[in-house]
Each structure stands twice: as structure tokens, then as C-alpha cells.
């Protein structure tokens, strides 16, 4: 399992959680003593850990080890204890943001860490501000802080690990691999770096090197569940479904509460044509769930099973159940995600007006919240993307292009590579709907190459242009994406398989 799997906004800090064991909270507390603050790099060249309490540091390090091994829920008690011992422990606050069960607590802890940045070392400050930038969708700001971090602490494996996480999140896998490799060279026993190195190689379609990295990960911490889960995900990707299930079962033998393994097993069963067994496997998550975040994990995976099976009314019910969980804690970010998901399901059901209402409701939730201005601006930008898709579904090409133009301009201004790719995707969707196949191919080739839906759209565009070989290649990529729960894959898997087999 890698950290980007998480469904709440804590995923935005995931790489940095592992980089420092990090996280944040709320109102400022009295400053730590001057002796506790470490304004310069530590003598060993590592990012300092600023705390007035040695006992708090011990708790923090225990929690960080659990985070390193992706036992996020288990880590929380240690970080809480660290803060009881030192209420001004900024890295413990940052760590709690990463282990937060919902977006509300994520931002509460992150904001507390930000308040404390002038009371800690430069390295800790850079980590905290990088997390804040990432949470607000400011990729350039996040990159600036992390590059400064690596420059200031070139011998700290966690600094390189954090920068690798940024590149990974932007689907820039070669530089991510470079940073993860540096982390493993500095510390050959840094298990988490081998985990993410394996994922980066996997995403770069270098399966032999990915397998080596995951096998080293297993060697380093054989009594933890996550190495087996991560290796299983590679096997899932490769279509070795029975082998993947066996590795997921090993993870559960070590820790029965490692619920993410159940969603991996469910996806392997789904891809073997066993949707009923997949749904039954996911019921284990609800039965074992200790937090609403774990319940969301199960519900989202079930949503994917229902979408994949074409059972869209059931998928809509799943999304509504997720929304109800968000309402319990007033988790606006999660609720907005769910509203957008409801919109997309409605759009696929042929109900564009209902979809539009859901998309607008998602944006309204964010705009009325106390989330940051940057977060609100990003939500408004995403609304243009969604409304363009609604207009295209209604064949209102004027409105579709107007919304697409607005999204493209906003994406360019944000300098967020992912949003720029989404702008190409949107232009490709409109061009494909208008049967302008050459433009659709040009645009979709610049879209997110980790989105199986775009592979399928490319397949349709190549079919429209009469290029059967290219169409088959693109449909094969879409059909064999073999991911963990992924809505975009669920929309197209069956259609892509049919097309790849000459039946579509």
C-alpha cells in the first residue's frame, strides 16, 4: 500500500508524513524553551526534531516508525501522547495531520503546525510549509520548499523521500525514482523508500526493478503487513491475481486489522469476474473498521465494484453513504468529493442536469467553508471542468468550449502540471464528442497517462480515424490497468476489454 491511496485530504500530506513522521493541529500554545529549538542542521546532517521533552520525542519516533510501515491508525496514539508531553511539538502536530481520519482534523492539525513554524528548525519549517502548499494545491510552492529542504539537508534520506513524493504525485516517475534511490543509498535500511521506489518503478512499467524493490522491502520488515500488501499490488497490476491474493492474505495474517488488504483482494476477485465475491470481501472492512476513514475505504471500493458491474443506482447509494459519514464530522473536503462523485455517476446515468446540481453543490460546500482561499479557488476551477463535461453530454458545444477555455486558463495560471493535463483531457473529450479525431488524439496524448479512461478515449479516437493497430494498443492499456479501486478504470474496464478483443 502506498500513502496516496487514502481517500481523505490527509493523502495530500502522505509523502511528507513519511518524510518526517509529520502532521499539525489548532490554536498556538506557549513557545518551547530556547534550548529546545534547533535553528541549524543537526550535526549528522539530518532534519532536527524540535521538542522540549525527550519522552515526547520517544513517542514521536515510535509513531513515525508505524507511519513508515503504513500503520497510520496505530500511529495516532503515539503522536497524541507526544503532544500531551509537549504541546508545542510541531512535528507531532504535522504527524497527526497525516494520520487524521478526516479532512476537518487534517486541516486543524496542519494549521496548528503552521502556527509553530517560527519556533522550530528550518528543516521542520520547510516540511510544514511544503505540506501546507500541497494541501492548498500549490504545487510550485510545495516544490520550492522541498528543493530547499534537500539543498539544506542533502544527507537526510527523508528530505529526498519527500521530494520524491512530490514528483510521484505529479506522475513524474524518473525524477521520483532518482530521489527514492538517493534515500536508499543514504540509508539502506529505510524501508519506506524501497516501498515507494517499487511503486515508482511499477508506474514507469519497469516491473523487474519494482519487484526487486518490494522484495527488499519485505526483507527489511518481514513482520509488518504493508510489504506484502505492496508486493501484492504489483502482482495485481501484472495480472497475477491468485499470487496477489496470496500476498494480501499474508498481510492479514500478520495484522487482521490491515483492512486495505481486503480491498486489494476484492479487486483481484473483480478482475477475475467474481463481482459477488469481491463485494463479500469488502464487507470485512465495514466489520473491522475502527475509524470513519476505514469505513470510507470500504464504501469507495464497493462503489467501484458497482460501477464496474454497471449497477449505477447502487453506486449512487454508496456515494450517498460516504457523504453521510462526512456529515458526521463536518468534513467539507470529503463531502465535496462525494458530491462530485455523485455528479459523475449521474452524468454516466444520462442525467446531466442532476449531475450539474451535484457539481455545483460540491463547489458551494467548499466556498461556504473555512477552508483556505487556495483550496476554494481550486474547487471553483474544478467546477469549470465538470460543467464542460455536462455541456458536452448535452451536445451544447458552445457552453462546453466556454467552460473548457475557463478551465484551461485557470490550469495554466495555477502552474499545476496535473491540472494542465486535465485541461488537455477536457479538450480531448470535447473534440472526441465532435468527432474531430485528430485533435482528440493530440489532446489526449498530453493528458494524464495514468488515467485508464484517457487510454480508452484514445482507443475511440484511433478507431474513428481508422487506425486499428493504435486503437487496439490503447484499449489494451485501458483493459489491463488492474489497479486498486479506481473510478476511472471502473467506467471503462469492461468496454475496453471488449474492444481489445475485437467485440467493441
pLDDT at 468: 93
| CA distances from residue 256 to 68, 71, 259, 284, 299 in whole angstroms, order as listed | 19, 12, 7, 10, 19
pLDDT at 100 over 60: yes
Tens of pLDDT along 445-499? 999 988 999 999 999 999 999 999 999 999 999 999 999 999 999 999 999 999 8
pLDDT value at position 345?
97
Q: What are the pLDDT digits (tens) for 371-429?
A: 889 889 999 999 999 999 999 999 999 999 999 999 999 999 988 888 999 999 999 99
Q: Are 228 and 209 in contact (CB under 8 A)?
A: no
CA–CA gap between residue 501 and residue 484 (Å, rounded)? 23
pLDDT at residue 5 above 50? no
Residue 146: phi and psi, rounded to 5, are: -75, -35
Amino acid 43: pLDDT: 55
The model carries a pTM of 0.81
What is the mean pLDDT of the segment spanning 101-108?
A: 84
Residue 452, strand partner residues: none
Q: How far apart are CA 190 and CA 68, in angstroms?
A: 9
Mean per-residue pLDDT, 56-72:
89
pLDDT on residue 74: 86
Q: What's the CA gap between 198 and 61, in Å, rounded?
A: 24
* CA 438/CA 432 separation, integer angstroms: 9
Could you give the residue ranges of the DSSP H alpha helices within 118-156?
122-135, 139-152
pLDDT band at 136 (very low <50, low <70, confident <90, very high): confident
Dist. CA 51–CA 37, nearest whole Å: 7
- Which three three-digit cell numbers place residue 363? 463547489
Instruction: Give the chain's mean pLDDT.
Output: 89
CATH number, domain 435-504, options 1.10.10, 1.25.40, 2.40.128, 1.10.15? 1.25.40
**Would you state the pLDDT for residue 285?**
96
Helix (H) / strand (E) containing 389: helix 373-393
State the Cα–Cα distance between residues 356 and 367, nearest whole angstrom: 17
Q: Is 254 left (phi over 0), alpha (psi -120 to 50) or beta?
A: alpha
Work out the pLDDT band at 14, boundaries 50, 70, 90. Answer: very low
Is the C-alpha dihedral spanning 224, 280, 325, 346 positive or negative? positive
pLDDT score recorded for residue 29: 29
Spell out the CATH class of 1-171.
mainly alpha
10 Å Cβ neighbour count for 502? 9
- Residue spans of the domains in the chain: they are 1-171, 435-504
Which pLDDT band holds residue 504 (cuts at 50, 70, 90)?
Answer: low
DSSP state of 23: B
DSSP 300-358: HHHHHHHHHTT-HHHHHHHHHHHHHHHHHTT-HHHHHHHHHHHHHHHHHTT-HHHHHHH
Say if residue 386 is exposed, middle or buried (CB neighbours under 10 Å; 0-12, 13-18, 19+).
Answer: buried
Length of the chain: 504
Amino acid at each position: 500500500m502506498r500513502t496516496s491511496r487514502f481517500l481523505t485530504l490527509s493523502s495530500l500530506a502522505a509523502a511528507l508524513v513519511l518524510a518526517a513522521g509529520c502532521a499539525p493541529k489548532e490554536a498556538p500554545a506557549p513557545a518551547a524553551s530556547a534550548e529546545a529549538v534547533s535553528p541549524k542542521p543537526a550535526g549528522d546532517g539530518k532534519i532536527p526534531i524540535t521538542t522540549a521533552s525527550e519522552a515526547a520525542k520517544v513517542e514521536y519516533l515510535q509513531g513515525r516508525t508505524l507511519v513508515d510501515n503504513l500503520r497510520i491508525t496505530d500511529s495516532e496514539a503515539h503522536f497524541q501522547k507526544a503532544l500531551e508531553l509537549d504541546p508545542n511539538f510541531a512535528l507531532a502536530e504535522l504527524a497527526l495531520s497525516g494520520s487524521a481520519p478526516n479532512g476537518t482534523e487534517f486541516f486543524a492539525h496542519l494549521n496548528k503546525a503552521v502556527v509553530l513554524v517560527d519556533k522550530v528548525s528550518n528543516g521542520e519549517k520547510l516540511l510544514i510549509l511544503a505540506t501546507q502548499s500541497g494541501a492548498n494545491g500549490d504545487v510550485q510552492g510545495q516544490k520550492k520548499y522541498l528543493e530547499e529542504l534537500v539543498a539544506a539537508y542533502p544527507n537526510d534520506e527523508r528530505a529526498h523521500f519527500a521530494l520524491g513524493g512530490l514528483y510521484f504525485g505529479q506522475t513524474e516517475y524518473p525524477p521520483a525514482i532518482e530521489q527514492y534511490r538517493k534515500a536508499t543509498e543514504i540509508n539502506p535500511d529505510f524501508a519506506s523508500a524501497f516501498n515507494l521506489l517499487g511503486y515508482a518503478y511499477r508506474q514507469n512499467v519497469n516491473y523487474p526493478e519494482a519487484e526487486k524493490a518490494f522484495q527488499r522491502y519485505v526483507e527489511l520488515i518481514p513482520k509488518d503487513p504493508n510489504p506484502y500488501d505492496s508486493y501484492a499490488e504489483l502482482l495485481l497490476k501484472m495480472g497475477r491475481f491468485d499470487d496477489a491474493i496470496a500476498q494480501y492474505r499474508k498481510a492479514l495474517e500478520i495484522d487482521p486489522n490491515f483492512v486495505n488488504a481486503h480491498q486489494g483482494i476484492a479487486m483481484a476477485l473483480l478482475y477475475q469476474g467474481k463481482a459477488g465475491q469481491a463485494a463479500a470481501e469488502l464487507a470485512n472492512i465495514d466489520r473491522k473498521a475502527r475509524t470513519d476513514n476505514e469505513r470510507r475505504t470500504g464504501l469507495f471500493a464497493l462503489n467501484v465494484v458497482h460501477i464496474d458491474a454497471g449497477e449505477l443506482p447502487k453506486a449512487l447509494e454508496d456515494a450517498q453513504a460516504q457523504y453521510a459519514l462526512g456529515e458526521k464530522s463536518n468534513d467539507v473536503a470529503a463531502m465535496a468529493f462525494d458530491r462530485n462523485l455523485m455528479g459523475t455517476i449521474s452524468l454516466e446515468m444520462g442525467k446531466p442536469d442532476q449531475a450539474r446540481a451535484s457539481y455545483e453543490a460540491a463547489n458551494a460546500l467548499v466556498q461556504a467553508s473555512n477552508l483556505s482561499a487556495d483550496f476554494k479557488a481550486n474547487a471553483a476551477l474544478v467546477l469549470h471542468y465538470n460543467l464542460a463535461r455536462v455541456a458536452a453530454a448535452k451536445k451544447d458545444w458552445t457552453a462546453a468550449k466556454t467552460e473548457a477555455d475557463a478551465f484551461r486558463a485557470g490550469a495554466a495560471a495555477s502552474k499545476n502540471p496535473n491540472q494542465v493535463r486535465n485541461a488537455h483531457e477536457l479538450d480531448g473529450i470535447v473534440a472526441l464528442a465532435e468527432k474531430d479525431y485528430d485533435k482528440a488524439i493530440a489532446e489526449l496524448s498530453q493528458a494524464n497517462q495514468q488515467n485508464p479512461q484517457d487510454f480508452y478515449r484514445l482507443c475511440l479516437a484511433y478507431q474513428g480515424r481508422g487506425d486499428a493497430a493504435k486503437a487496439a494498443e490503447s484499449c489494451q492499456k485501458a483493459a489491463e490497468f488492474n489497479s486498486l479501486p479506481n473510478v476511472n478504470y471502473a467506467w471503462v474496464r469492461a468496454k475496453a476489454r471488449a474492444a481489445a478483443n475485437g467485440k467493441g
